[in-house]
Amino acid sequence: MPELPEVETVVRGLRQPLVGRRVEHVWYEREKVIAIPGAEDFAARIVGQTFQAITRRAKYIVCQMDHDVFGVHLRMTGRLYVAVESPADDRWVRLRLGLDNGESLHFSDARRFGRVYLAPDVTAFTQGIGPEPLDDDFTAEVFAERLRGRHRQIKALLLDQSIIAGVGNIYADESLFLAQIHPLRTADTLTGDEMSRLHEAVRHVLNQGIDHEGASVNWYRKPDGERGDSQEHFNVYDRSGQPCLRCGTAVLKIRVTQRGTHFCPNCQREK
Asked if 247 interacts with Zn ion (CB under 5 A), we say yes
Asked if 235 interacts with Zn ion (CB under 5 A), we say no
Stretch of 123-131, 184-192, 213-221, 242-250 lying at the interface with Zn ion (CB under 5 A) = 242-250
Neighbours of 179 (CB within 10 A): 23
Alpha helices of the chain — where are they, by DSSP H?
Answer: 4-18, 39-46, 123-126, 140-147, 154-159, 169-179, 192-211
| Residue from 128, 101, 13 nearest 61 by CA | 13
Instruction: Tell me how far, at minimum, the Cβ of 194 lies from Zn ion, in Å.
Output: 16
Q: Identify the three-state secondary structure at position 188.
A: helix
Asked if 246 interacts with Zn ion (CB under 5 A), we say yes
Asked if 176 interacts with Zn ion (CB under 5 A), we say no
Estimate the share of the chain in helix, then strand, then coil, as percent rounded to the nearest 5: 30, 25, 45
Asked if 252 interacts with Zn ion (CB under 5 A), we say no
| DSSP assigned state of 145 | H
Residue whose CB is less far from Zn ion, 147 or 252? 252
Tell me whether residue 75 is one of the annotated catalytic residues.
Answer: no
Asked if 266 interacts with Zn ion (CB under 5 A), we say yes
- Tell me the Ramachandran region of residue 213: left when phi exceeds 0, alpha when psi lies from -120 to 50, beta otherwise: left
Asked if 158 interacts with Zn ion (CB under 5 A), we say no
What per-residue string of b and e applies to 180-193 under the rule 16 or more CB within 10 Å gives b?
A: bbbbbbebeebeee
**Closest-CB residue for Zn ion?**
244
Residue whose CB is less far from Zn ion, 102 or 248? 248
Active-site choice (21, 45, 57, 59) = 59
Tell me whether residue 155 is one of the annotated catalytic residues.
Answer: no
Active-site choice (29, 75, 259, 265) = 259
Stretch of 22-30, 109-117, 177-185, 238-246 lying at the interface with Zn ion (CB under 5 A) = 238-246
Neighbours of 217 (CB within 10 A): 17
Residue whose CB is less far from Zn ion, 64 or 266? 266
**Catalytically active residues, by annotation:** 2-3, 59, 259
